Amino acid sequence: MKENYSISSASILNRIHSLMERYRDKRVIIAIDGRCGAGKTTLAQYLETQTSATVFHMDDFFLRPEQRTTERLSTPGENVDHERFLVEVLEPLIQGVVELPYQRFDCKTQSLQKSIVLKPGKLCIVEGSYSCHPSLVKLYDYRIFMTVSPEEQLERIIRRNGPDAAKIFASRWIPLEERYFSMCAVEGQCDYTINTGEM
């Protein structure tokens, strides 16, 4: 099923506009967390076109190879560099910086790329699994959780990444996500839940 936000888009946009009206004197920062294949990136892109938001991707903050210790990966939510994201992106956004330099992690080369500089606007959106990590979740103005049934999730990953990649998702990435969602009570800390499998 193709992701369609016609049911909930007006509601989300109204909530965002209300937040921006309420916080006129500061930047509004929204997180979109949830299951892989649920449509986080698609929703972020939609909101970007509707609001001219600046979008940040948690995929840019995968752990570097030297950070992937057994101890770290055995802890729920620790397979993302939330420390670097906090220091390089979230704290500067909260402080109201006009220019924001940071480095993206490239999965192909398994290394940090040259620093890029963004000029974040009034509304910023952080999308991706682990964006609501316990060290980050309370710092957002609004949090959205996206979910989908396991069957629909796997179908979407197969369409998007192919059957071989889907096997890796099913055996590795999805169990890590589910442990994080469960142990960190992620959905319960979010302000709004969207089930894209029901659209």
With a cut of 90, say whether residue 35 has pLDDT above it.
yes
Q: How far apart are CA 175 and CA 184, in angstroms?
A: 14
DSSP-derived secondary structure letter, 1: -
Q: Which residue ranges form the domains of the chain, and what is each CATH number? A: 9-198 (3.40.50.300)
Say what the pLDDT of residue 198 is: 63
pLDDT mean over 55-72: 95
Task: Say if CB 125 and CB 32 are below 8 A apart.
Answer: yes
Residues 122-179: tens digit of each pLDDT: 999 999 999 999 999 999 999 999 999 999 999 999 999 999 989 999 998 999 999 9
pLDDT mean over 38-54: 94
Strand 28-34 relative to strand 123-127, pairing = parallel
Say what the pLDDT of residue 6 is: 42
Task: Say if CB 137 and CB 116 are below 8 A apart.
Answer: no
Q: How far apart are CA 19 and CA 142, in angstroms?
A: 8
Residues contacting 171, CB < 8 A, separation 6+: none
pLDDT mean over 72-91: 95
Task: Say if CB 139 and CB 90 are below 8 A apart.
Answer: yes
pLDDT mean over 85-95: 97
With a cut of 60, say whether residue 5 has pLDDT above it.
no
Residues contacting 145, CB < 8 A, separation 6+: 33, 34, 132, 186, 187, 190, 192, 193, 194
Q: How far apart are CA 126 and CA 167, in angstroms?
A: 27
Q: How far apart are CA 3 and CA 32, in angstroms?
A: 15
- pLDDT band at 197, cuts 50/70/90? confident
With a cut of 60, say whether residue 7 has pLDDT above it.
no
Say what the pLDDT of residue 8 is: 59
Return the percentage of the chain with pLDDT > 90, whole number: 86
